[in-house]
Structure 1
Amino acid sequence: MKNLLCLFLFLLIFPLASFKQDFTEPVQLDWNIHFKGKPDNNSPYYALTAMTWKYSYGSTIYRNRVEIKLQNEVSIDKNRSWVKLDKVKSEEARQNLLHHEQGHVNIQYILLMEADRVLKNRTYSVKNYKAQISDLANQISNYFDTMQKNYDEETEHGSNHKMQDRWDKIISDKMVESKAASASK
């Protein structure tokens, strides 16, 4: 069994705190539960969510074909995730920031579902399946890392409400699409 780890530490707006995903719904963030770390006073941002995606697999070669049994999980590191609630003056602003951070959690949930679907449904070469799986996992990781960055840039870390609404729709549609793809396998 080969264990591989992809670690995502998303600055500010790349949210997540500790949970193990059960594939039913993304975790719903709570300031008091998921943000226990000490804030970075040098950061211009009001929150940071530290998240990890881990996968491992067991492989069996049968009749010149590789079959893998995949384990795939996301966790939020609540001890490295932080928020500067003292800098966010109104309750509405706090809720908007939490909503933005939840978007990051939802994107990571989509990563989890897509990684499960993609990694399980490939035909791998007996000679180099480990490298193929690693390469595919890195491609998935890079794609979603870029998506997280685009989410922050385009929404201006949640302060551009029009773009936040646009991204809410994108994320919602992707979640529905990923769930449908998972259900059809």
Structure 2
Amino acid sequence: MKNLSIILSFLLILPLLSFRQDYVEPEQLDWNIHFKGKPDNKSPFSALTAMTWKYSYGSTVYRNRVEIKLKNEITIDKTRSWVKLDRIRTEEAREKLLHHEQGHVNIQYVLLMEADRVLKNRTYSVKNYKAQIADLANQISDYFDTMQKNYDEETEHGSNQKMQARWDKIINDKMEESKAASNSK
């Protein structure tokens, strides 16, 4: 009976662990798991990875200083993400496309890490901290939206392998920088 209660406690706690903020690695995409949405037949593209970044915070004013407790998460929207696997003729082409889509997820992972670092490590004014946080969050979001667009344009949605390799290095370097910055706190 004691073992059963331990197992039940573990099963109840396990789903909560997935919302921890110490993200070690970005989620790894899988065609069968993450792409459940209906493909947009009008789109010239073979896949779309839909993601959302959400943040919220609690605040405490202490000695004329605002401290925030940040909750910061990214999700892959499986119902809005889609792929046209019937248009992809070879396994190699499928792997290249999935690799390109993974780049989008990795960019969102960098956004997550940077938002965590930037939003937590600021001194906010007691009078207008909510506006300051919203402004910073919008700047971060705009920066990474532009990065996502540049990634697609420069790699030609993954079809330009030379540029894809260049972007793979950029994204990997940014992930390493963000991890290093996070670990140095």
The TM-score, its normalising length taken from structure 1, stands at: 0.89
Letter in structure 1 aligned against 2:117: R
Letter in structure 1 aligned against 2:58: G
CA distance in 1, matches of 2:137, 2:144: 11
1:87 lines up with 2:61 in the alignment: no
CA distance in 2, matches of 1:171, 1:40: 27
State the match for 1:156 in structure 2: 156
1:36 lines up with 2:36 in the alignment: yes
Deviations along 1:81-134, one digit per CA (max 9) or x if unpaired, are 000000011000000000000000000000000000000000000000000000
Alignment size in residue pairs: 167
CA distance in 2, matches of 1:75, 1:169: 23
Deviations along 1:127-178, one digit per CA (max 9) or x if unpaired, are 0000000000000000000000000000000000000000000001000000
Structure 1 or 2: larger helix share? 2
Gap regions ≥5 residues in structure 2: 1-17
> Counterparts in 2 of 1:76-115, with a 5 A limit?
76-115=76-115
CA distance in 2, matches of 1:79, 1:68: 32
> Counterparts in 2 of 1:1-185, with a 5 A limit?
22-185=22-185
Q: 1:69: how far off? A: 0.3
Q: In structure 1, the residue corresponding to 2:55 is in which secondary structure?
A: strand
Q: 1:73: how far off? A: 0.3
Q: In structure 1, the residue corresponding to 2:50 is in which secondary structure?
A: strand
Letter in structure 2 aligned against 1:139: Q
Q: In structure 2, the residue corresponding to 1:27 is in which secondary structure?
A: coil
Q: 1:22: how far off? A: 4.8
CA distance in 2, matches of 1:28, 1:49: 12
CA distance in 2, matches of 1:63, 1:42: 57
CA distance in 1, matches of 2:165, 2:51: 23
The TM-score, its normalising length taken from structure 2, stands at: 0.89
Q: 1:62: how far off? A: 0.6
CA distance in 1, matches of 2:71, 2:172: 25
Q: In structure 1, the residue corresponding to 2:49 is in which secondary structure?
A: strand
Letter in structure 2 aligned against 1:138: N
Structure with larger RCO (C-alpha < 8 A, sep 6+): 1
CA distance in 1, matches of 2:52, 2:62: 32
CA distance in 2, matches of 1:79, 1:70: 27
Q: In structure 2, the residue corresponding to 1:29 is in which secondary structure?
A: coil
Cα RMSD over matched residues? Answer: 1.0
CA distance in 2, matches of 1:177, 1:24: 13
CA distance in 2, matches of 1:70, 1:105: 21
